[in-house]
Amino acid sequence: MSTLITNIGELVTNDLQQADDAGSRDGRDAAALSGQGPGPFAAIKDAALVMEAGLVAWTGQASRAPAADEIVDARGRAVLPGFVDSHAHLVFAGERGAEFAARMAGAPYEAGGIASTVAATRRATDPELRAGLRRLVAEMLRQGITTFECKSGYGLTVADEARCLSLAAEVTPEVTYLGAHIVPPEFDGDAAGYVDLVCGQMLDACAPFARWVDVFCESGAFGADEATAVLDAGRAVGLIPRVHANQLGPGPGVRVAVAAGAASADHCTYLTSADVEALASSATVATLLPGVEFSTRQPYPDARRLLGAGVTVALATDCNPGSCFTSSMSLCIALAVVAMRLTTREAVWAATAGGARALRRTDVGHLGAGARADLVLLDAPSHAYLAYRPGVPLVAAVWRAGELAAGSAE
Ligand SMILES: [Zn+2]
């Protein structure tokens, strides 16, 4: 059973082959040239796409499209790769609307706010946590996120971290052990004791569910030595590092991430020149989370400086109940363009191919032949509308692995 989507006004492919044809160079780097997976930003006007058996089988000019069993008419609208959200905290209980309102009324954001979510999460039953998680996953899917990462970090006991990761593993293969989110209240004054637990018994219980290990390396959370110990322990059992780095102020997070061979350093709001150089000369992606700066009224990361230095940049939601409770990649794209001065092409690339790089995935983030058929149909003629029409629900339909998963192409 093959499906042809035709009459596509703009088809964003991020496909290396077509980028070569079009002469586009956005987002190009050595990794894309040497391997499979996402290439630089690339798009085809008046396009068509054929999918079969869950994969992209063909893309090109609509006038040259092959026959298929089923035809979908996009009526001049844009089709993009499904968004890849490489940073989200989705397993938690409770909500922090009052804290948000207080912050908007002038109270500062502090890492300690996490503790209230930890308390609620520990009290919650598995079915309660699962229901909240699935509600957010469905919300993301309706908005075009077809691949997402999900962290623990609100349990902070051996049993609670393990059950949060077990629940995350029900909905995504991109599961991240974040036992080192904050030092929980019962270890107050004994951060070393908690790091020992995170690197020992808790890791043993959590590693079977996880692909990644993460640490919140920040003043008020974990320092360089503690973060390095957590990442080393994770690596020793086969987990790949990623790091919450340099969000609230300058610090060692990016250096720790690069030294550990992390797939991604996330936030990157306060960077020194040495940090930027370290990222540029490594395979570590800089994942920017502008919904956080928007929701906490903090300064945005200097994305142009990172791109200018040759750093690979991803965009992610950081969906979490404290600092940024959005599940909208469209909002993140609009913020990246309007507030961080990415071009619309750079922002869409970062939210698709960039996210795939941050998760070391070659099957998503692009629509080259052989990619997973994860597609977003916009009620708009081009990708630029995601920033041009901020806050408007432009995602009309979402296909995941070739199946219509949300919305309608009508
Ligand atoms: Zn986060």
CB 230 within 8 Å of CB 180: yes
C-alpha of residue 142 to centroid of ligand 1, in Å: 22
Same domain, 221 and 178: yes
pLDDT 10s digits, 246-302: 999 999 999 999 999 999 999 999 999 999 999 999 999 999 999 999 999 999 999
Domain membership of residue 103 (yes or no) is yes
Residue 30 lies in a domain: yes
Please tell me the distance between residue 318's alpha carbon and the centre of ligand 1 in angstroms: 5
Distance 6 CA to ligand 1 centre (A): 38
Rounded distance from Cα 409 to ligand 1 centre (Å): 33
Question: What pTM value is reported for the model?
Answer: 0.95
56 assigned to some structural domain? yes
CA of 316 to the centre of ligand 1 (A): 10
My answer on whether 94 and 74 are in the same domain is: no
Q: How far is the CA of 87 from the centre of ligand 1 (A)?
A: 6
Range of the structural domain that residue 65 is part of: 2-81+364-407
Q: Is residue 145 part of a domain?
A: yes
User: What sign does the dihedral 10-16-17-22 (CA atoms) show?
Assistant: positive
Q: Which of 357, 407, 308 is nearest to 37 (CA)?
A: 357
Taking alpha carbons only, the member of 410, 342, 311 closest to residue 31 is 311
Dihedral of CA atoms 116, 122, 124, 128 in degrees, nearest 10, equals: 90
Q: How far apart are CA 403 and CA 159, in angstroms?
A: 36
CA gyration radius, the chain: 21
Rounded to the nearest angstrom, the distance between the alpha carbon of 2 and the centre of ligand 1 is: 39
Structural domains counted in the chain: 2
Q: Give the pLDDT score at 115.
A: 86
pLDDT of residue 112: 57
Q: Which residues of 204-235 are buried (b: 16+ CB within 10 A; e: fewer)?
A: ebbbebbbbbbbbbbeebbbeebbbbbbebbe
Q: Which of 362, 343, 346, 259 is nearest to 311 (CA)?
A: 346
How many A from CA of 249 to the centre of ligand 1?
A: 15
The CATH number covering residue 255 comes to: 3.20.20.140
- Residues 278, 391: one domain? no
Q: What pLDDT is attached to residue 110?
A: 60
H or E element at residue 265: strand 264-267
Going from the Cα of 89 to the center of ligand 1, the distance in angstroms, rounded, reads: 6
pLDDT at 113: 78
Tell how far the Cα of 408 is from the centroid of ligand 1, in angstroms: 32
| CA 322 to ligand 1 center in whole angstroms | 10
d(CA 289, CA 261): 21
Ion ligand 1 contact residues with beta carbon within 5 A: 318
Give average pLDDT by consecutive 10-residue segment, the chain, 410 residues: 97 80 41 62 97 97 97 98 98 94 81 83 98 98 98 98 98 98 95 98 98 96 97 98 96 98 98 98 98 96 98 98 96 98 98 98 96 98 98 98 96
**Residue 372 DSSP one-character state:** B
The answer to whether residue 371 sits within a structural domain is yes
Domain co-membership, 160 together with 218: yes
Do 302 and 381 belong to one domain? no
Q: How far is the CA of 244 from the centre of ligand 1 (A)?
A: 6
